[in-house]
Structures are given as C-alpha cells and as structure tokens.
Amino acid sequence: MAADHLSLIFGALADPTRRAILARLADGETTVNELASPFDMTLPAISKHLKVLERAGLISRGRDAQWRPCRLEGGALREASDWVGRYRRFWESSYDELEALIEAGAPATGAEAPAADAPAPTETITP
Amino acid sequence: MAADHLSLIFGALADPTRRAILARLADGETTVNELASPFDMTLPAISKHLKVLERAGLISRGRDAQWRPCRLEGGALREASDWVGRYRRFWESSYDELEALIEAGAPATGAEAPAADAPAPTETITP
DNA sequence: TGGTTAATTAGCTGATCGGTAAACTATCGC
DNA sequence: GCGATAGTTTACCGATCAGCTAATTAACCA
C-alpha cells in the first residue's frame, strides 16, 4: 500500500476486523486482550491489526502497568470523512434531478463540473 | 483484502492513483486513455485500477464505439461516508470540551459512551 | 526469587497487490 | 478487407499482507 497518510487510513479501514476493533473502541478505551476476545484469531494477529490502526493514526496506545490500553483517535477518521465529503454532491439530491435531466435529453451541463480542484489537492499525480 | 463491500470500497480508496482517477472523474465522464494520460504508468495498470474501482462500485463503465467511458458513481462513496460518519462525534466539538473535562479531572462519564450499536451493525465480528 | 499475565517481536507461509510486456479483441475509417 | 485506435486479458515478478507458532519483553504478585 502507498505510504501517504490518506492511503494508510483507507487501507486500515479496508478490513472488517479492524473496523470491528474501531467499533469496539467507540464504546471506550480498552485492552488488547479484550479487543481480541471476540475474534477467532490469535493475539499476535490482533497486535498487528492494532499496529496498522496506530500507524494510520486511527488509534493511540497508552500504558497502564502490563496493559496497553487502546483508544480511538478521531483525527484520522476526520481526514477520511473530509476527503469523501468532497464528493458529497455525487450522491446528494442530484440523483433524481440529474437523472431526470439526463433522461430528458439534456446535454452534459456544467452542473456536474465540480469545484475544479476540490478533490485531492495534495494528491500527487505520479508518485 | 476482505470480500465485503465496505472493505472493497475502502481498499479501492487506499491508493493515490485510484483516488486521482476519481478526482478526474469528478470533472465528468471520460475515456480510459484520458484517465491514464497523467500517470507514468502503462495502460494495463490503469485498466486494473479501473477494475478495482468498478468492483467496489465507485465507477461504472459504458460503451461508445471503441471507447469505454468511465463515470463516477456516488453510491459507494456514500456508503463510505455513512460508515465514517458514525464516528463523527469523535472529532466534532468534543475535542476541546472533553479534553478540558479530562484535564479538570472528571471521571470517565457517559459522555464518551457512544450510541451503543452505532458502528457496524452489519460488521460480522468473526468472518 | 520465581511464576503468571499482558502484549510484542521474529520468522515462516500462502495469498493478494501493483506493476510490466506481450498478445488479443473490438470498433472505426478508408 | 486492412490498418489504426482503444482497451482488455494473460502470464509473470517482486513486494506487501494476513495469519500462524514460538520466543521474548515487561510488569505484577506471592
């Protein structure tokens, strides 16, 4: 997977186990063992998932004696949300109205020409 | 990568080339060759990226003679947005206020106990 | 001191990913 | 029909991923 932050975030989210871990952490900070318990998977596997989540900035880990409590970090999720949000107009309203226009034989209007630079200002086109 | 839809979507977004393709498609439907032109990459590589995006439902492809015009599909992005949106409270407002509360020595209140089932109702815990 | 519990690291495997080159398919225009 | 244009498919390669077992680190408890 690419090394840029957004790719790390989306890559981390592209796994049901990791998303379930985040879901659990939404109920509050907890330990690695408790996070692991619902899964049919060894502890090292969970540990790896946590590392992926941490590298993406989706969680952070503290220390409490021999426990390493994990907590959800909203910042990275916000980055993901912000990126996706730039495309909001592609699923909001538009659908019915635009569909109708197209059905009616309207030509490709400026309507679907979006905020030009909106998506991916930091998106290096050839990294 | 896991086979569930959300994983396909996030997995597809976890690549700067594919995100740049989506950004380009936000400016309107276009052909594969035009999509490929900004990249220092062969056509087959782009073709693969498009297949990943299509499998995730992020784009659709039509036919116009020998061209296969691609268009952005908002639905999948909406799914991603909806999923991430369930965690909104983790980056909205809360930050300063909650941080302040914690600093002030407030115990773990119900405040950060979230809408219980909010995240991942379809998230199978052990697939 | 020694044992237990919590978690990570190391090393291995098989599967998937991102890219390539080469060959193939399909459609257009002459 | 023929050549050019647009795009996909088919191997193939090295790198990364997700999981495992076994060993290791770190802190507690008695």
Please report, rounded to a whole number, the percentage of residues in chain B having pLDDT higher than 90.
Answer: 69
What is the C-alpha to C-alpha distance for residues A60 and A29, in angstroms, rounded to an integer? 10
Q: Quick one: what percent of chain A has pLDDT higher than 70? A: 72
- Calpha distance B103→B97 (Å, rounded): 10
Same domain, B74 and B90: no
- A112 is a domain residue: no
Answer whether residue A90 shows pLDDT above 70.
Answer: yes
Q: Is the CB of B16 under 7 A from strand D?
A: no
Residues B92, B46 share a domain? no
Q: Are the Cβ atoms of B38 and A125 closer than 8 angstroms?
A: yes
Let me know whether B31 and B66 are in one domain. Answer: yes
Candidate from A98-102, A103-107, B77-81 with smallest mean pLDDT: A103-107
* Minimum mean pLDDT range among A77-81, B24-28, B121-125: B121-125
What is chain B's mean pLDDT, rounded?
A: 81
Q: What is the pLDDT of residues A32-78, one digit of tens each?
A: 999 999 999 999 999 999 999 999 999 999 999 999 999 999 999 99
- pLDDT band of residue B98 (cuts 50, 70, 90) is low
Residues B29, B74, single domain; the answer is yes
Domain co-membership, B21 together with B71? yes
Contact B5, B75 (CB under 8 A): no
Question: What is residue B33's predicted lDDT score, i.e. its pLDDT?
Answer: 97
* pLDDT score of A2: 83
Could you list the residue range(s) of the whole structural domain that residue B100 is in? 86-121
What is residue A116's predicted lDDT score, i.e. its pLDDT? 28
Q: What is the least distance, in Å, from the CA of A28 to any CA of chain B?
A: 6
Is 80 exceeded by the pLDDT of residue B29? Answer: yes
Q: Which of residues 32-91 of B touch strand D (CB under 7 A)?
A: 32-34, 43-44, 46-48, 50-51, 61, 66-69
3-state secondary structure chain A: CCCCHHHHHHHHHCCHHHHHHHHHHCCCCECHHHHHCCCCCCHHHHHHHHHHHHHCCCEEECCECCECCEEECHHHHHHHHHHHHCCHHHCCCCHHHHHHHHHCCCCCCHHHCCCCCCCCCCCCCCC
- Nearest chain B CA: its distance from A102 CA (Å): 13
Asked if the model's pLDDT at residue B125 lies above 60, the reply is no
Kindly give, in sequence order, each residue whose CB lies less than 8 Å from that of residue A104, ignoring residues fewer than 6 positions away. Answer: none
Contact A13 B16 (CB under 8 A): no
Question: Residue A32 CA to C13 C1' — how many Å?
Answer: 25
Identify whether the C-beta of residue A78 lies closer than 8 Å to the C-beta of residue A68. Answer: no
Instruction: Tell me, yes or no, whether B95 and B62 share the same domain.
Output: no
- State how many domains chain A has: 1
B26 shares its domain with B73: yes
| CA–CA min distance A50, chain B (Å) | 16
Closest-approach nucleotide to residue B68, Cα vs C1': D7
Whether B48 and B108 share a structural domain: no
**Is position A45 within any domain?**
yes
Q: Is residue A123 situated within a structural domain?
A: no
When mean pLDDT is compared across A6-20, A60-74, B68-82, B92-106, the lowest value belongs to B92-106
Bases of strand C lying below 7 A from some protein CB: 5-11, 16-22, 26-28
Chain-chain contact of A20 with B125 (C-beta, under 8 angstroms): yes
Tokens of B2: 């896991």
In the predicted structure, residue B10 carries a pLDDT above the cut 70? yes
CB atoms within 10 A of CB B119: 21
CA dist., res. B19 & res. B6, Å (int): 16
For residue A27, which of B8, B110, B9 has the smallest C-alpha distance? B110
Token representation of residue B14: 């976890």
Contact B39, B17 (CB under 8 A): yes
pLDDT for res A9: 98
Is B40 in contact with A126 (CB distance < 8 Å)?
yes
Q: Is the CB of B2 under 7 A from strand C?
A: no
Which of B46, B87, B3 shows the shortest CA–CA distance to A72? B87
CATH of the domain at A52: 1.10.10.10
